[in-house]
Structure 1
Amino acid sequence: MSVIEQEDVRGGKAVFKEISADDDDIQPTVIESLCMNCYENGSTRLLLTKIPFFKEIIISSFTCAHCNWSNTEIQSAGRIQDQGVTYTLRVRSKEDLNREVVKADSATTRIPELDFEIPAYTQKGSLSTIEGLLDRAAAGLEQEQPLRKATAPEVAEKIDEFIDKLKKLKDVESEFTLVIDDPSGNSFVENPHAPQKDEALTVSHYKRTPQQDVQLGIKAEEDVEEEEGEKPGNDINTLRNEVLMFNTNCPECNAPASTNMKLVQIPHFKEVIIMATNCDSCGHRTNEVKSGGATEALGTRITLHLTDPSDMSRDLLKSETCSVLIPELEFELGMAALGGKFTTLEGLLKDIKDLVVSKNPFICGDSGTSDRAEKLELFGKKIDRIIAGEMDVHIILDDPAGNSYLQNVYAPDPDPEMKVEKYERTFQQNEDLGLNDMKTEAYQDESVDS
């Protein structure tokens, strides 16, 4: 059972409650706390709540009646995500400064043009805007300036010059880059053009290193050292003939659950690994597909022209490296957004609608605007029309790793409505897949020579 579903023994109420204007029951918890500014006693208010379509958070606000000092912060109360995330934003106009940002305390913030970095765990988590992040960074640098001017005037002068450069970024006289790298996966940068692709924002997911797992408290240093020393050797025939089961936690309520894994051969394609998780506590079910083979020598682009409602029943394998495009809707779903999936074309479109419309955290509450909500509602209706066969569109699966598949109902003959293209990957695509620095041939000989 998740924290949200657990009941408080004293009151019989949920610990985390969704924010609602009609609920007078939501009251913060007030705790007497020491003020770190004047060292008198102040008060901290804690509110355990849930942002609709996002996750559980803890909002804390401190105020001191003696010196009037105040401080606010948020902390994620949800689970650490399966993958880390990196947001790279090209700030081109003052409108970009209004983008909402959820920055976890484990996130690192960088501005390459200024060679400026805010390391992880040096700031508390915050729900702010790009402009708010810049103001907070400048305020942090200004905090110790009086002491520096008295003890190290030259250093203080250089920091003043840097603070001026940081503040001038808000004028957006020239483009600059903002990078937020969060190994916990709990940070977020708003896309104001949703559901269309944001040309200025790049989102990439990655697998955490063992050292990052240690920093997040997921693993102990001793366990990482033991794992690095082990050299496991799995029998591939065992994977082909058996359904393997291992223990995990439910991604919805974090209760103990079991995941089944099976190696499956897809006709006219290749072997894939299907993993399915079923939670007995909340009933949540999820499945994920990973390629069972190597990265192909060429990328694959599959274009299907939808001409009949029966196309919705085509089997589809979308790998984690595959992006989905619908040119008629000016829509693009980036890599890793929905993870790996083995489903039908109708199932993929429904998942896209849920991700963009139903589970979008920025269309409700204080973050929502009527224009944005209407735009996303219209997009959802267009997806429904595509599923019903009322719109003439093309679906494009672009996988630089070549591990995605769309069923050819005319197999082994060519499909007149489907076009499969093989292409050479660009340097950047190889970089994203980690292939540029990968060496699998003659490395033993080089190590002997060295």
Structure 2
Amino acid sequence: MSVIEEERVRGAVFKDINAEDEDQQPTVIESLCMNCYENGSTRLLLTKIPFFKEIIISSFSCPHCNWTNTEIQSAGRIQEQGVLYTLQVKTKEDMNREVVKSDSASTRIPQLDFEIPAFTQKGSLSTIEGLLDRAVMGLEQDQPIRKATDPAVAEKIEEFIQRFKKLKEVEEEFTLIIDDPSGNSFIENPFAPQKDTALTVTHYKRTPEHNAALGIEVEEEENDEKPGNDLDAMRNEVLVFNTNCPECNAPANTNMKLVQIPHFKEVIIMATNCDSCGHRTNEVKSGGATEELGTRITLHLTDPSDMSRDLLKSETCSVLIPELEFELGMAALGGKFTTLEGLLKDIKDLIVSKNPFMCGDSSTADRAEKLELFGQKIDKIIAGEMDVHIILDDPAGNSYLQNVYAPDPDPEMKIEKYTRTFEQNEDLGLNDMKTEGSQMFFVGALLHQNPKTCD
């Protein structure tokens, strides 16, 4: 079977979730109950959550002992980066936050010195309260046996369970940390589109150990051939390489080109078009190194013509609109080379149209009304009916906003250079970067490319 035929079969198996679709019925399989060892039934549903990903939902029930179990398992692709969620739980309302936890995610509560390692639980779609209930259920499972065989250990575990139950009442603040190398876990921000001050989201590059645990094989490239160094030819050429569509995973082509932005630097533009589902993506990568200083660009919008300004947002850049109390973190939209109007439309689509918790049972009237109002404000900004400031904050210094008065200064735009904090260097991976001997390595690489330079 060819790759295209496999993707067509995959599309026929994973259908969009629809309560009115009578053909979308779960598959029922007779299974052994691990509680009473009688036969029960497992229902499997292979579906796609709108604006999220392909998942496998399984539900087991036993008619003999009435034991039930539900699981959710990701059937989609592993993300390019891992994700680390750190939530400060302060109120009982925080216990209602929705959580998507994949089976590769580890869960920690530092105040209790408690950790659920990765791959010890199946993936789940629940709330923070549900995660705590599941942990308590696991601790209580073998308590009767412990009380009979080792009363001292059973007593200590009982004390730990009582501390766990107190967390549900949020008598004191605690920290919940979910670390998922696959990038497929999620903690809800109930204040969206505003920034959640209690929630910190960090994306990171996986280590070889993470890749091995996820079953990803990283092939080492052999550099026997001399790398090309003709940048002029590369600037005039569009490179095409094979890839998979991020939406339907069908084979597609990605076009890549090196472009020089006036008064800035070179960037790499990549665009992918999928012939199977029509999905389009474009992404921008900086062609240079990380700058010594971070860059903060503040533009005061005074005229609708500002919407046509060219804009380069790197994947490390965050976007702020103080008047709306809105902040878009780094890596949320990836790298983009577009206009200011295009960036605002992408933000509106991400927050309002493509929000997975705006549809189905996850949606509430208050949340939908608040996000709809945010979308209307974005439309007013695009139409020039609101006086706001747009801030591009890039600790890597690789973002750009067009100065329409160039080479003269722009009276409505302020560009600040600043020294990165330790945390920003940590997010960029600069604290662990070793540069000792890099100059000799660079000279050795040049000599390897052209031995004649030895003269």
TM-score, length of structure 2 as denominator length: 0.90
1:158 alignment partner, SS class:
helix
Matched, 1:265 2:263: no
Partner of residue 235 from structure 1, selected from 228, 239, 258: 228
The alignment status of 1:127 with 2:125, answered yes or no, reads yes
> Is 1:347 matched with 2:363?
no
Distance 1:55 1:77 in 2: 8
**1:326 partner amino acid:** I
Q: Deviations over 1:20-56 (max 9, x none)?
A: 3433333221111111122221111112222222222
Q: Output the CA distance in 1 between the equivalents of 2:181 and 2:240.
A: 27
| Residues 2/117 of structure 1: CA separation in 2 closer, same or farther (3 Å cut) | farther
Q: CA deviation at 1:333?
A: 0.3
8 Å CA contact 2:7–2:250 kept in 1: the answer is: no
CA gap of 1:241–1:234, structure 2 versus 1, over 3 A, is farther
Cα distance in 1 between the residues matched to 2:324 and 2:6: 37
Equivalent in 282, 285, 292 of residue 287 of structure 2: 292
The separation in 1 between residues aligned to 2:142 and 2:6, in whole angstroms, is: 41
Task: Please list every run of 5 or more consecutive structure 1 residues that lacks an aligned counterpart in the other structure.
Answer: 446-450
**How much has 1:314 moved relative to structure 2?**
0.7
Specify which of 272, 276, 279 is matched with residue 274 of structure 2: 279
3-state SS, counterpart of residue 178 of structure 1: strand
The alpha carbon displacement at 1:230 in A equals 6.7
Structure 2: how far apart are the matches of 1:99 and 1:389?
36
> The residue matched to 1:343 in structure 2 has which SS?
strand
* Structure 1 contact 3–15 (Cα < 8 Å) conserved: no
Write out per-residue CA displacement over residues 259-301 of structure 1, whole angstroms, 9 at most, x where no aligned residue.
Answer: 2222222111111121221222222221111112111111111
Q: 1:132 to 1:4 in 2, by over 3 A?
A: farther
Percent of counterpart pairs with the same letter?
83
For residues 237 and 96 of structure 1, the distance between their equivalents in structure 2, rounded to whole angstroms, comes to 56
Shift of 1:228: 8.1
Rate the CA distance shift 1:293–1:398 in 2: closer, same or farther, 3 A. same
- Check 1:200–1:232 CA distance in 2 against 1; reply closer, same or farther (3 A cut): farther
Give the direction of change, closer, same or farther, for the CA distance of 1:359–1:150 in structure 2 (3 Å limit): same
> 1:442 and 1:324 mapped to 2: Cα distance?
37
Taking a change above 3 Å as real, the CA distance of residues 231 and 160 of structure 1, as seen in their structure-2 partners, is farther
Deviates more, 1:43-52 or 1:129-138: 43-52
For 1:173, the equivalent position in structure 2 comes to 171
Measured in 2, the distance between the counterparts of 1:187 and 1:74 equals 12
1:200-219 paired onto structure 2 within 5 Å = 200-219=198-217
Give structure 1 regions of 4+ aligned residues with deviation exceeding 6 angstroms.
Answer: 1-5, 228-233
Q: Per the alignment, do residues 3 and 410 of structure 1 end up closer, same or farther by CA in structure 2, a change over 3 Å counting?
A: farther
Provide closer, same or farther for how the CA distance between residues 45 and 106 of structure 1 changes in structure 2, counting only shifts above 3 A: same
User: In the alignment, what sits opposite 1:150?
Assistant: 148
Contact 1:265 1:271 in 2 (8 A): yes
Query: Shift in Å at residue 420 of structure 1?
Result: 0.4
Which of 25, 43, 46 pairs up with 1:45? 43
CA contact under 8 A between 1:2 and 1:254: conserved in structure 2? no
Cα distance per residue 1:239-261 (max 9 Å; x no partner): 54543332211001101112222
AA partner of residue 262 (structure 2): P
Listed as ranges, the gaps of 5+ residues in structure 2 are 441-455
Alignment CA distance shift 1:156-1:398 (3 Å): same
| 1:316 to 2:297 alignment | no
Residues of 2 paired with 1:3 and 1:21: CA distance? 28
